A and B are shown apart, each in its own frame.
Chain A
Amino acid sequence: MNATRAPSTDPKSEPQAPIVIQGAGVGKTFGNGAVIALEDASFEIRQGSFVSLVGPSGCGKSTLLRLIAGLIDRTSGDLTVHDKAVDGPHTDVGMMFQRATLLDWCTSLENVLLPTEIIRKPTKADKERAAELLRLVGLKDFLFAFPSQLSGGMQQRVALARLLQTGADILLLDEPFGALDEFTRERLNIELMRIVGEVRATTLFVTHNIAEAIFLADQVFVMTPRPGRIFEIVDVPFARPRPLSIQTSPEFNTLVAKVRDILGEDH
Protein backbone atom coordinates (compact mmCIF):
# COMPACT_ATOMS: atom_id res chain seq x y z
CA MET A 1 0.00 0.00 0.00
CA ASN A 2 1.80 3.14 -1.06
CA ALA A 3 -0.35 4.97 -3.55
CA THR A 4 -2.80 7.66 -2.56
CA ARG A 5 -6.18 6.09 -2.37
CA ALA A 6 -9.04 7.49 -4.34
CA PRO A 7 -11.41 9.63 -2.28
CA SER A 8 -14.11 7.83 -0.45
CA THR A 9 -17.17 7.07 -2.50
CA ASP A 10 -19.03 5.07 0.09
CA PRO A 11 -22.69 5.06 -0.85
CA LYS A 12 -24.74 6.66 1.89
CA SER A 13 -28.46 6.56 2.32
CA GLU A 14 -28.82 10.34 2.04
CA PRO A 15 -27.91 12.20 -1.15
CA GLN A 16 -24.32 13.37 -1.15
CA ALA A 17 -23.56 16.99 -0.38
CA PRO A 18 -21.79 18.99 -3.10
CA ILE A 19 -18.02 19.01 -3.25
CA VAL A 20 -16.57 22.28 -1.94
CA ILE A 21 -12.83 21.60 -2.01
CA GLN A 22 -11.19 19.49 -4.64
CA GLY A 23 -7.51 18.69 -5.10
CA ALA A 24 -5.93 16.79 -7.97
CA GLY A 25 -2.24 16.01 -7.79
CA VAL A 26 -1.57 19.04 -5.60
CA GLY A 27 2.11 19.51 -4.79
CA LYS A 28 4.24 22.08 -3.04
CA THR A 29 8.02 22.28 -3.03
CA PHE A 30 10.25 24.82 -1.35
CA GLY A 31 13.68 26.02 -2.37
CA ASN A 32 13.36 25.24 -6.09
CA GLY A 33 12.25 21.69 -5.50
CA ALA A 34 14.84 20.93 -2.83
CA VAL A 35 12.20 20.25 -0.19
CA ILE A 36 8.99 18.46 -1.09
CA ALA A 37 6.47 19.68 1.46
CA LEU A 38 3.51 18.02 -0.19
CA GLU A 39 3.29 15.61 -3.09
CA ASP A 40 0.45 14.52 -5.32
CA ALA A 41 -2.47 15.21 -2.98
CA SER A 42 -5.81 14.24 -4.49
CA PHE A 43 -9.04 14.51 -2.52
CA GLU A 44 -12.61 15.76 -2.44
CA ILE A 45 -14.19 17.43 0.54
CA ARG A 46 -17.96 17.70 0.73
CA GLN A 47 -20.00 20.51 2.13
CA GLY A 48 -20.55 20.31 5.86
CA SER A 49 -18.10 17.49 6.37
CA PHE A 50 -15.41 17.45 9.03
CA VAL A 51 -11.99 16.31 7.84
CA SER A 52 -9.04 15.69 10.13
CA LEU A 53 -5.50 15.81 8.82
CA VAL A 54 -3.30 13.66 11.00
CA GLY A 55 0.34 12.74 10.79
CA PRO A 56 3.80 13.45 12.21
CA SER A 57 5.70 16.71 11.70
CA GLY A 58 6.72 17.32 8.11
CA CYS A 59 3.86 15.33 6.59
CA GLY A 60 2.54 18.44 4.87
CA LYS A 61 -0.68 18.85 6.84
CA SER A 62 -0.14 22.52 7.60
CA THR A 63 1.11 23.05 4.06
CA LEU A 64 -2.12 21.60 2.66
CA LEU A 65 -4.15 23.91 4.89
CA ARG A 66 -2.19 26.96 3.83
CA LEU A 67 -2.52 25.96 0.17
CA ILE A 68 -6.30 25.75 0.53
CA ALA A 69 -6.32 29.13 2.29
CA GLY A 70 -4.30 30.55 -0.61
CA LEU A 71 -1.59 31.76 1.76
CA ILE A 72 1.03 29.90 -0.30
CA ASP A 73 0.96 28.88 -3.96
CA ARG A 74 1.05 25.29 -5.07
CA THR A 75 3.83 24.20 -7.41
CA SER A 76 1.80 21.52 -9.17
CA GLY A 77 -1.70 20.12 -9.57
CA ASP A 78 -5.18 21.63 -9.45
CA LEU A 79 -6.89 22.94 -6.37
CA THR A 80 -10.39 24.40 -6.36
CA VAL A 81 -12.60 25.85 -3.66
CA HIS A 82 -16.24 26.27 -4.64
CA ASP A 83 -15.19 25.30 -8.19
CA LYS A 84 -12.79 28.23 -8.42
CA ALA A 85 -9.06 27.65 -8.71
CA VAL A 86 -7.23 28.95 -5.63
CA ASP A 87 -4.88 31.81 -6.46
CA GLY A 88 -4.15 33.82 -3.35
CA PRO A 89 -6.00 34.49 -0.10
CA HIS A 90 -9.77 34.35 -0.46
CA THR A 91 -12.78 34.95 1.75
CA ASP A 92 -14.34 31.49 1.43
CA VAL A 93 -12.09 30.19 4.19
CA GLY A 94 -11.30 31.26 7.72
CA MET A 95 -8.19 30.13 9.55
CA MET A 96 -7.36 29.41 13.15
CA PHE A 97 -3.90 28.68 14.49
CA GLN A 98 -2.29 26.83 17.38
CA ARG A 99 -1.79 30.13 19.12
CA ALA A 100 -4.86 32.29 19.40
CA THR A 101 -3.17 35.21 17.59
CA LEU A 102 -5.50 37.67 19.22
CA LEU A 103 -4.64 41.35 19.23
CA ASP A 104 -3.55 42.15 22.78
CA TRP A 105 -4.84 45.71 22.63
CA CYS A 106 -8.37 44.69 21.62
CA THR A 107 -11.21 43.34 23.78
CA SER A 108 -12.77 39.97 22.94
CA LEU A 109 -15.54 41.78 21.11
CA GLU A 110 -13.11 43.90 19.09
CA ASN A 111 -11.05 40.84 18.25
CA VAL A 112 -14.11 39.04 16.96
CA LEU A 113 -15.05 42.12 14.94
CA LEU A 114 -11.64 42.26 13.24
CA PRO A 115 -12.68 40.35 10.08
CA THR A 116 -15.58 42.78 9.62
CA GLU A 117 -13.43 45.79 10.34
CA ILE A 118 -11.04 44.83 7.55
CA ILE A 119 -13.94 45.10 5.12
CA ARG A 120 -16.01 48.00 6.50
CA LYS A 121 -16.84 50.00 9.59
CA PRO A 122 -18.73 47.58 11.86
CA THR A 123 -22.42 48.37 12.25
CA LYS A 124 -24.55 47.83 15.31
CA ALA A 125 -25.76 44.56 13.78
CA ASP A 126 -22.15 43.41 13.27
CA LYS A 127 -21.44 44.10 16.92
CA GLU A 128 -24.52 42.20 18.00
CA ARG A 129 -23.54 39.25 15.87
CA ALA A 130 -20.03 39.28 17.34
CA ALA A 131 -21.50 39.35 20.86
CA GLU A 132 -23.81 36.48 19.87
CA LEU A 133 -20.85 34.43 18.62
CA LEU A 134 -18.98 35.05 21.87
CA ARG A 135 -22.06 33.73 23.67
CA LEU A 136 -22.03 30.71 21.36
CA VAL A 137 -18.47 29.86 22.42
CA GLY A 138 -19.38 30.37 26.08
CA LEU A 139 -17.79 33.76 26.71
CA LYS A 140 -20.81 35.98 27.31
CA ASP A 141 -19.24 37.40 30.47
CA PHE A 142 -15.96 38.26 28.79
CA LEU A 143 -17.00 40.52 25.91
CA PHE A 144 -14.87 43.39 27.18
CA ALA A 145 -11.93 41.44 28.57
CA PHE A 146 -8.51 41.70 27.02
CA PRO A 147 -6.64 38.59 25.84
CA SER A 148 -4.09 38.68 28.66
CA GLN A 149 -6.98 38.50 31.12
CA LEU A 150 -8.20 35.23 29.58
CA SER A 151 -6.93 31.67 29.96
CA GLY A 152 -5.41 29.86 26.97
CA GLY A 153 -8.63 27.96 26.39
CA MET A 154 -10.72 31.13 26.51
CA GLN A 155 -8.37 32.84 24.09
CA GLN A 156 -8.92 30.02 21.62
CA ARG A 157 -12.67 30.40 22.09
CA VAL A 158 -12.34 34.04 21.09
CA ALA A 159 -10.28 32.98 18.08
CA LEU A 160 -13.02 30.50 17.16
CA ALA A 161 -15.70 33.19 17.44
CA ARG A 162 -13.57 35.46 15.27
CA LEU A 163 -13.27 32.67 12.73
CA LEU A 164 -17.05 32.31 12.65
CA GLN A 165 -17.45 36.08 12.31
CA THR A 166 -15.71 35.92 8.93
CA GLY A 167 -18.83 34.19 7.67
CA ALA A 168 -16.60 31.75 5.79
CA ASP A 169 -18.25 28.38 5.26
CA ILE A 170 -14.90 26.59 5.29
CA LEU A 171 -12.97 26.51 8.55
CA LEU A 172 -9.27 25.67 8.49
CA LEU A 173 -8.00 24.83 11.97
CA ASP A 174 -4.26 24.29 12.38
CA GLU A 175 -3.84 22.42 15.67
CA PRO A 176 -6.09 24.98 17.32
CA PHE A 177 -6.07 23.38 20.76
CA GLY A 178 -2.59 21.85 20.54
CA ALA A 179 -1.09 24.16 23.15
CA LEU A 180 -3.81 23.54 25.73
CA ASP A 181 -3.96 20.98 28.49
CA GLU A 182 -5.69 17.66 27.88
CA PHE A 183 -8.91 18.48 29.76
CA THR A 184 -9.41 21.87 28.19
CA ARG A 185 -8.72 20.42 24.78
CA GLU A 186 -11.24 17.65 25.20
CA ARG A 187 -13.92 20.09 26.31
CA LEU A 188 -13.18 22.44 23.44
CA ASN A 189 -13.29 19.56 20.97
CA ILE A 190 -16.80 18.69 22.12
CA GLU A 191 -17.85 22.33 21.76
CA LEU A 192 -16.17 22.63 18.39
CA MET A 193 -18.19 19.66 17.14
CA ARG A 194 -21.42 21.24 18.43
CA ILE A 195 -20.60 24.66 16.97
CA VAL A 196 -19.55 23.55 13.48
CA GLY A 197 -22.71 21.43 13.46
CA GLU A 198 -24.79 24.48 14.32
CA VAL A 199 -23.24 26.75 11.70
CA ARG A 200 -23.02 23.91 9.14
CA ALA A 201 -19.42 24.67 8.24
CA THR A 202 -17.03 22.49 6.29
CA THR A 203 -14.07 21.96 8.59
CA LEU A 204 -10.46 20.90 8.10
CA PHE A 205 -8.71 20.16 11.34
CA VAL A 206 -4.97 19.55 11.61
CA THR A 207 -3.75 17.51 14.56
CA HIS A 208 -1.06 15.02 15.49
CA ASN A 209 -3.34 13.25 17.92
CA ILE A 210 -4.89 10.17 16.30
CA ALA A 211 -7.79 9.74 18.74
CA GLU A 212 -8.69 13.42 18.46
CA ALA A 213 -8.56 13.22 14.66
CA ILE A 214 -10.98 10.30 14.57
CA PHE A 215 -13.25 11.55 17.32
CA LEU A 216 -13.99 14.80 15.48
CA ALA A 217 -14.05 13.81 11.84
CA ASP A 218 -16.12 12.20 9.11
CA GLN A 219 -12.94 11.55 7.21
CA VAL A 220 -9.34 11.31 8.37
CA PHE A 221 -6.57 12.15 5.93
CA VAL A 222 -3.69 10.08 7.21
CA MET A 223 -0.53 11.85 6.11
CA THR A 224 3.09 10.70 6.07
CA PRO A 225 6.35 12.65 5.75
CA ARG A 226 9.34 12.73 3.37
CA PRO A 227 7.78 13.56 1.01
CA GLY A 228 4.61 14.87 2.62
CA ARG A 229 1.56 13.11 1.19
CA ILE A 230 -1.95 11.94 1.92
CA PHE A 231 -1.26 8.28 2.45
CA GLU A 232 -4.78 7.12 3.03
CA ILE A 233 -8.23 8.55 3.61
CA VAL A 234 -10.10 6.76 6.41
CA ASP A 235 -13.85 7.15 6.78
CA VAL A 236 -15.31 7.47 10.27
CA PRO A 237 -18.82 6.02 10.26
CA PHE A 238 -20.20 7.48 13.54
CA ALA A 239 -22.87 10.17 13.38
CA ARG A 240 -21.97 13.60 14.71
CA PRO A 241 -22.17 15.06 17.30
CA ARG A 242 -20.65 12.26 19.32
CA PRO A 243 -20.37 11.67 23.03
CA LEU A 244 -16.90 11.41 24.58
CA SER A 245 -17.74 7.84 25.60
CA ILE A 246 -17.52 6.77 21.97
CA GLN A 247 -13.76 6.80 22.43
CA THR A 248 -13.94 3.67 24.54
CA SER A 249 -16.01 1.69 22.03
CA PRO A 250 -14.36 -1.22 20.19
CA GLU A 251 -15.21 0.28 16.77
CA PHE A 252 -13.46 3.50 17.68
CA ASN A 253 -10.39 1.70 18.88
CA THR A 254 -10.27 -0.43 15.74
CA LEU A 255 -10.08 2.81 13.76
CA VAL A 256 -7.36 4.19 16.02
CA ALA A 257 -5.37 0.99 15.57
CA LYS A 258 -5.87 1.19 11.81
CA VAL A 259 -4.55 4.75 11.57
CA ARG A 260 -1.70 3.93 13.91
CA ASP A 261 -0.80 0.98 11.68
CA ILE A 262 -0.73 3.17 8.60
CA LEU A 263 1.46 5.75 10.30
CA GLY A 264 3.69 3.09 11.85
CA GLU A 265 4.08 1.22 8.58
CA ASP A 266 5.83 4.03 6.85
CA HIS A 267 8.46 5.06 9.34
Chain B
Amino acid sequence: MSVQDYMAVKAARTGTGISLRNRRILIHAGIFIALIALWEISSRLGWLDPLFYPRPSAILNSFWLIFVVNGNIWYHLYVTLGLVFLGWVAGSVLGVGLGALVGFNPVVRRFLKPYVIVLEATPRIAVAPLLIAALGFGAPSKIAIIMLVCFFAPFINTLSGVINVNEDRLDLFRSLRASKMQVLRKLVLPDAIPVIMAGERLALTAALSGALVAEFIQRDQGIGSLILIYTRNLNMASAFACIFTLTIIGFLIFKGMEMADQRIAFWKNEPGMKRVSDRRRRAMAIGG
Protein backbone atom coordinates (compact mmCIF):
# COMPACT_ATOMS: atom_id res chain seq x y z
CA MET B 1 0.00 0.00 0.00
CA SER B 2 2.64 2.47 1.06
CA VAL B 3 4.76 1.62 -1.95
CA GLN B 4 1.79 2.26 -4.19
CA ASP B 5 1.13 5.54 -2.46
CA TYR B 6 4.73 6.51 -2.92
CA MET B 7 4.60 5.65 -6.59
CA ALA B 8 1.37 7.53 -6.99
CA VAL B 9 2.94 10.58 -5.43
CA LYS B 10 5.93 10.18 -7.69
CA ALA B 11 3.74 9.87 -10.75
CA ALA B 12 1.86 12.97 -9.72
CA ARG B 13 5.14 14.84 -9.31
CA THR B 14 6.57 13.80 -12.65
CA GLY B 15 3.28 14.90 -14.11
CA THR B 16 2.81 12.17 -16.70
CA GLY B 17 -0.91 12.84 -16.65
CA ILE B 18 -1.68 9.11 -16.62
CA SER B 19 -2.93 7.51 -13.42
CA LEU B 20 -0.87 4.75 -11.85
CA ARG B 21 -3.52 2.18 -12.61
CA ASN B 22 -3.79 3.08 -16.26
CA ARG B 23 -0.02 3.11 -16.60
CA ARG B 24 0.16 -0.41 -15.20
CA ILE B 25 -2.49 -1.61 -17.62
CA LEU B 26 -0.56 -0.06 -20.50
CA ILE B 27 2.66 -1.79 -19.40
CA HIS B 28 0.89 -5.16 -19.07
CA ALA B 29 -0.69 -4.79 -22.49
CA GLY B 30 2.64 -3.77 -23.98
CA ILE B 31 4.45 -6.82 -22.61
CA PHE B 32 1.64 -9.12 -23.75
CA ILE B 33 1.57 -7.75 -27.28
CA ALA B 34 5.36 -7.95 -27.49
CA LEU B 35 5.32 -11.63 -26.46
CA ILE B 36 2.61 -12.50 -28.98
CA ALA B 37 4.45 -10.59 -31.70
CA LEU B 38 7.69 -12.39 -30.83
CA TRP B 39 5.90 -15.72 -31.10
CA GLU B 40 4.29 -14.83 -34.43
CA ILE B 41 7.55 -13.53 -35.89
CA SER B 42 9.58 -16.54 -34.65
CA SER B 43 7.09 -18.81 -36.31
CA ARG B 44 7.09 -16.88 -39.61
CA LEU B 45 10.88 -16.74 -39.67
CA GLY B 46 11.01 -20.49 -39.14
CA TRP B 47 12.60 -20.43 -35.67
CA LEU B 48 9.61 -22.38 -34.30
CA ASP B 49 8.21 -25.38 -36.09
CA PRO B 50 4.68 -24.19 -36.99
CA LEU B 51 3.49 -27.78 -36.92
CA PHE B 52 3.97 -28.10 -33.17
CA TYR B 53 3.94 -24.45 -32.20
CA PRO B 54 1.22 -22.85 -34.30
CA ARG B 55 1.23 -19.10 -34.81
CA PRO B 56 -0.97 -16.90 -32.64
CA SER B 57 -2.82 -15.86 -35.77
CA ALA B 58 -3.54 -19.52 -36.57
CA ILE B 59 -4.76 -20.14 -33.01
CA LEU B 60 -7.00 -17.11 -33.22
CA ASN B 61 -8.39 -18.45 -36.46
CA SER B 62 -9.05 -21.80 -34.76
CA PHE B 63 -10.94 -20.04 -31.99
CA TRP B 64 -13.12 -18.52 -34.68
CA LEU B 65 -13.62 -21.89 -36.32
CA ILE B 66 -14.42 -24.05 -33.30
CA PHE B 67 -16.57 -21.48 -31.51
CA VAL B 68 -18.35 -19.80 -34.41
CA VAL B 69 -17.98 -21.39 -37.83
CA ASN B 70 -18.18 -25.03 -36.80
CA GLY B 71 -19.34 -24.38 -33.25
CA ASN B 72 -18.27 -27.91 -32.37
CA ILE B 73 -16.58 -27.03 -29.07
CA TRP B 74 -19.79 -26.05 -27.32
CA TYR B 75 -21.07 -29.56 -26.95
CA HIS B 76 -17.75 -30.82 -25.58
CA LEU B 77 -17.51 -27.87 -23.25
CA TYR B 78 -20.98 -28.63 -21.97
CA VAL B 79 -20.06 -32.30 -21.41
CA THR B 80 -16.83 -31.54 -19.59
CA LEU B 81 -18.22 -28.80 -17.38
CA GLY B 82 -21.24 -30.93 -16.55
CA LEU B 83 -18.96 -33.72 -15.41
CA VAL B 84 -16.77 -31.33 -13.45
CA PHE B 85 -19.80 -29.92 -11.68
CA LEU B 86 -21.37 -33.28 -10.84
CA GLY B 87 -18.08 -34.85 -9.74
CA TRP B 88 -17.17 -31.82 -7.69
CA VAL B 89 -20.52 -31.68 -5.92
CA ALA B 90 -20.46 -35.42 -5.23
CA GLY B 91 -16.82 -35.36 -4.07
CA SER B 92 -17.47 -32.31 -1.88
CA VAL B 93 -20.56 -33.73 -0.25
CA LEU B 94 -18.66 -36.92 0.50
CA GLY B 95 -15.55 -35.05 1.66
CA VAL B 96 -17.34 -32.54 3.90
CA GLY B 97 -19.70 -35.19 5.25
CA LEU B 98 -17.00 -37.70 6.08
CA GLY B 99 -14.72 -34.95 7.39
CA ALA B 100 -17.40 -33.76 9.81
CA LEU B 101 -18.26 -37.31 10.85
CA VAL B 102 -14.64 -38.24 11.47
CA GLY B 103 -13.95 -34.91 13.15
CA PHE B 104 -16.74 -35.40 15.65
CA ASN B 105 -15.90 -38.96 16.49
CA PRO B 106 -12.50 -39.44 18.14
CA VAL B 107 -12.77 -43.24 17.98
CA VAL B 108 -13.52 -43.30 14.26
CA ARG B 109 -10.71 -40.81 13.81
CA ARG B 110 -8.15 -43.00 15.52
CA PHE B 111 -8.93 -46.11 13.50
CA LEU B 112 -9.41 -44.29 10.23
CA LYS B 113 -6.15 -42.35 10.40
CA PRO B 114 -3.85 -45.02 8.85
CA TYR B 115 -6.16 -45.35 5.84
CA VAL B 116 -6.29 -41.62 5.38
CA ILE B 117 -2.49 -41.51 5.36
CA VAL B 118 -2.32 -44.35 2.82
CA LEU B 119 -4.92 -42.65 0.64
CA GLU B 120 -3.08 -39.36 0.87
CA ALA B 121 0.25 -40.94 -0.10
CA THR B 122 -1.26 -42.65 -3.15
CA PRO B 123 -1.61 -40.52 -6.30
CA ARG B 124 -5.38 -40.69 -6.71
CA ILE B 125 -5.24 -40.49 -10.48
CA ALA B 126 -3.44 -43.87 -10.57
CA VAL B 127 -6.71 -45.49 -9.58
CA ALA B 128 -8.51 -44.09 -12.64
CA PRO B 129 -8.00 -47.14 -14.92
CA LEU B 130 -9.30 -49.40 -12.18
CA LEU B 131 -12.43 -47.28 -11.82
CA ILE B 132 -13.03 -47.50 -15.55
CA ALA B 133 -12.56 -51.27 -15.44
CA ALA B 134 -15.04 -51.49 -12.59
CA LEU B 135 -17.65 -49.01 -13.82
CA GLY B 136 -17.15 -49.31 -17.57
CA PHE B 137 -16.76 -46.50 -20.11
CA GLY B 138 -19.11 -43.55 -19.84
CA ALA B 139 -20.15 -40.85 -17.45
CA PRO B 140 -20.29 -42.87 -14.18
CA SER B 141 -16.62 -43.83 -14.24
CA LYS B 142 -15.66 -40.27 -15.24
CA ILE B 143 -17.62 -38.82 -12.36
CA ALA B 144 -16.05 -41.39 -10.04
CA ILE B 145 -12.57 -40.31 -11.14
CA ILE B 146 -13.42 -36.64 -10.57
CA MET B 147 -14.89 -37.47 -7.16
CA LEU B 148 -11.74 -39.31 -6.24
CA VAL B 149 -9.41 -36.45 -7.15
CA CYS B 150 -11.48 -33.72 -5.53
CA PHE B 151 -12.65 -35.55 -2.42
CA PHE B 152 -9.51 -35.08 -0.41
CA ALA B 153 -9.14 -31.34 0.07
CA PRO B 154 -12.68 -30.81 1.43
CA PHE B 155 -12.29 -33.90 3.59
CA ILE B 156 -9.03 -32.85 5.24
CA ASN B 157 -10.06 -29.21 5.58
CA THR B 158 -13.42 -30.04 7.11
CA LEU B 159 -11.75 -32.47 9.47
CA SER B 160 -9.20 -29.94 10.66
CA GLY B 161 -11.83 -27.21 10.85
CA VAL B 162 -14.02 -29.36 13.06
CA ILE B 163 -11.19 -30.61 15.27
CA ASN B 164 -9.67 -27.17 15.85
CA VAL B 165 -12.62 -25.66 17.65
CA ASN B 166 -11.53 -23.11 20.20
CA GLU B 167 -11.75 -24.66 23.70
CA ASP B 168 -12.93 -21.44 25.34
CA ARG B 169 -15.79 -21.14 22.90
CA LEU B 170 -16.72 -24.73 23.56
CA ASP B 171 -16.74 -23.97 27.30
CA LEU B 172 -18.93 -20.97 26.62
CA PHE B 173 -21.47 -23.11 24.78
CA ARG B 174 -21.37 -25.73 27.49
CA SER B 175 -21.87 -23.15 30.21
CA LEU B 176 -24.92 -21.92 28.26
CA ARG B 177 -26.11 -25.53 28.22
CA ALA B 178 -26.21 -25.73 24.45
CA SER B 179 -27.17 -29.08 22.96
CA LYS B 180 -24.73 -31.04 20.80
CA MET B 181 -26.74 -30.03 17.75
CA GLN B 182 -26.55 -26.35 18.72
CA VAL B 183 -22.80 -26.59 19.24
CA LEU B 184 -22.56 -28.09 15.76
CA ARG B 185 -24.85 -25.61 14.02
CA LYS B 186 -24.00 -22.42 15.83
CA LEU B 187 -20.32 -22.93 16.58
CA VAL B 188 -18.45 -25.73 14.84
CA LEU B 189 -19.78 -25.47 11.30
CA PRO B 190 -19.73 -21.67 10.93
CA ASP B 191 -16.25 -21.69 12.45
CA ALA B 192 -15.10 -24.25 9.87
CA ILE B 193 -16.64 -22.51 6.84
CA PRO B 194 -13.59 -20.47 5.76
CA VAL B 195 -11.31 -23.50 5.83
CA ILE B 196 -13.94 -25.68 4.11
CA MET B 197 -14.26 -23.04 1.38
CA ALA B 198 -10.49 -23.13 0.88
CA GLY B 199 -10.79 -26.90 0.43
CA GLU B 200 -13.58 -26.47 -2.11
CA ARG B 201 -11.44 -24.12 -4.14
CA LEU B 202 -8.69 -26.69 -4.40
CA ALA B 203 -11.26 -29.39 -5.15
CA LEU B 204 -12.81 -27.54 -8.08
CA THR B 205 -9.41 -26.99 -9.71
CA ALA B 206 -8.61 -30.66 -9.16
CA ALA B 207 -12.00 -31.62 -10.62
CA LEU B 208 -11.16 -29.92 -13.92
CA SER B 209 -7.86 -31.82 -14.16
CA GLY B 210 -9.60 -35.03 -13.19
CA ALA B 211 -12.21 -34.57 -15.93
CA LEU B 212 -9.48 -34.05 -18.54
CA VAL B 213 -7.61 -37.18 -17.48
CA ALA B 214 -10.83 -39.20 -17.56
CA GLU B 215 -11.53 -37.90 -21.06
CA PHE B 216 -7.98 -38.57 -22.22
CA ILE B 217 -8.45 -42.18 -21.19
CA GLN B 218 -11.92 -42.64 -22.61
CA ARG B 219 -11.47 -40.53 -25.76
CA ASP B 220 -15.19 -40.28 -26.50
CA GLN B 221 -16.37 -36.73 -25.82
CA GLY B 222 -15.49 -33.64 -23.83
CA ILE B 223 -12.69 -31.09 -24.14
CA GLY B 224 -10.06 -33.65 -23.12
CA SER B 225 -11.07 -35.92 -25.98
CA LEU B 226 -11.21 -32.97 -28.35
CA ILE B 227 -7.63 -31.95 -27.49
CA LEU B 228 -6.56 -35.55 -28.03
CA ILE B 229 -8.26 -35.77 -31.42
CA TYR B 230 -6.88 -32.43 -32.65
CA THR B 231 -3.38 -33.40 -31.56
CA ARG B 232 -3.65 -36.75 -33.36
CA ASN B 233 -4.72 -34.95 -36.51
CA LEU B 234 -1.82 -32.54 -36.06
CA ASN B 235 -4.32 -29.69 -35.85
CA MET B 236 -2.24 -28.01 -33.17
CA ALA B 237 -3.83 -24.61 -33.59
CA SER B 238 -7.21 -26.01 -32.58
CA ALA B 239 -5.65 -27.99 -29.73
CA PHE B 240 -4.11 -24.75 -28.47
CA ALA B 241 -7.44 -23.01 -28.81
CA CYS B 242 -8.95 -25.72 -26.59
CA ILE B 243 -6.16 -25.35 -24.05
CA PHE B 244 -6.57 -21.58 -23.88
CA THR B 245 -10.30 -22.07 -23.51
CA LEU B 246 -9.51 -24.20 -20.45
CA THR B 247 -7.22 -21.43 -19.19
CA ILE B 248 -10.10 -19.00 -19.37
CA ILE B 249 -12.42 -21.47 -17.64
CA GLY B 250 -9.85 -22.11 -14.93
CA PHE B 251 -9.56 -18.39 -14.37
CA LEU B 252 -13.33 -17.95 -14.23
CA ILE B 253 -13.58 -20.81 -11.74
CA PHE B 254 -10.89 -19.22 -9.60
CA LYS B 255 -12.61 -15.83 -9.68
CA GLY B 256 -16.01 -17.36 -9.10
CA MET B 257 -14.81 -19.27 -6.06
CA GLU B 258 -13.10 -16.16 -4.75
CA MET B 259 -16.35 -14.24 -5.01
CA ALA B 260 -18.33 -17.07 -3.43
CA ASP B 261 -15.77 -17.25 -0.64
CA GLN B 262 -16.09 -13.54 0.05
CA ARG B 263 -19.85 -13.77 0.19
CA ILE B 264 -20.08 -16.93 2.27
CA ALA B 265 -17.20 -16.26 4.67
CA PHE B 266 -18.20 -12.59 4.79
CA TRP B 267 -16.64 -11.98 8.20
CA LYS B 268 -13.18 -12.50 6.74
CA ASN B 269 -13.29 -9.40 4.56
CA GLU B 270 -14.17 -5.78 5.18
CA PRO B 271 -16.69 -5.27 2.31
CA GLY B 272 -18.45 -8.49 3.32
CA MET B 273 -18.80 -7.35 6.92
CA LYS B 274 -20.07 -3.96 5.82
CA ARG B 275 -22.68 -5.52 3.52
CA VAL B 276 -24.02 -7.93 6.16
CA SER B 277 -23.80 -5.32 8.90
CA ASP B 278 -25.92 -2.89 6.88
CA ARG B 279 -28.42 -5.60 6.05
CA ARG B 280 -28.84 -6.58 9.70
CA ARG B 281 -29.18 -2.97 10.75
CA ARG B 282 -32.01 -2.52 8.25
CA ALA B 283 -33.64 -5.76 9.35
CA MET B 284 -33.57 -4.56 12.95
CA ALA B 285 -35.00 -1.18 11.97
CA ILE B 286 -37.88 -2.82 10.14
CA GLY B 287 -38.39 -5.31 12.94
CA GLY B 288 -38.86 -2.39 15.36
Q: Is the CB of A105 within 8 A of B176?
A: no
Q: Which A residues touch B44, using CB under 8 A?
A: none
Q: Are B267 and A148 in contact (CB under 8 A)?
A: yes
Q: Is B174 interfacial (CB 8 A cutoff)?
A: yes
With known contacts A101-B166, A117-B186, A118-B178, A146–B267 Cβ distance under 8 A: yes
B169 located at the interface, meaning its Cβ lies under 8 Å from any Cβ of chain A in the complex: yes
Judging by beta carbons under 8 Å apart, are B267 and A93 in contact? no
Contact A101 B169 (CB under 8 A): yes
Instruction: Check A257 for interface membership: any CB of B closer than 8 A.
Output: no
Would A97 and B171 be within 8 Å (CB), given that A103-B187, A103-B190 are in contact?
Answer: yes
Is A148 within 8 A of B273, CB to CB? yes
Overall SS of chain B's interface: helix
Q: Contact size class for B?
A: 20 to 34
Query: Contact between B273 and A146 (Cβ–Cβ < 8 Å)?
Result: yes
**A71 with B288: CB separation less than 8 A:** no
* Inter-chain contact total with CB atoms closer than 8 Å: 75
- Residue total for A at the interface (Cβ-Cβ under 8 A): 33
A143 to B277, CA, bound (A): 9
Mark A87-125 against chain B: 1 for CB-CB distance below 8 A, else 0. 001110111011101011101011000110110000010
28 A-B pairs in the complex with CB atoms less than 8 angstroms apart: A66-B171, A69-B175, A70-B175, A89-B175, A94-B175, A95-B172, A95-B175, A101-B168, A101-B171, A103-B191, A105-B190, A105-B267, A109-B280, A115-B176, A118-B176, A118-B182, A118-B186, A124-B288, A127-B284, A144-B277, A144-B278, A144-B281, A145-B277, A146-B273, A146-B277, A148-B267, A149-B273, A166-B176
Using a CB–CB cutoff of 8 Å, the interface residues on chain A facing chain B are 66, 69-71, 89-91, 93-95, 97-99, 101, 103-105, 107, 109-110, 114-115, 117-118, 124, 127, 143-146, 148-149, 166
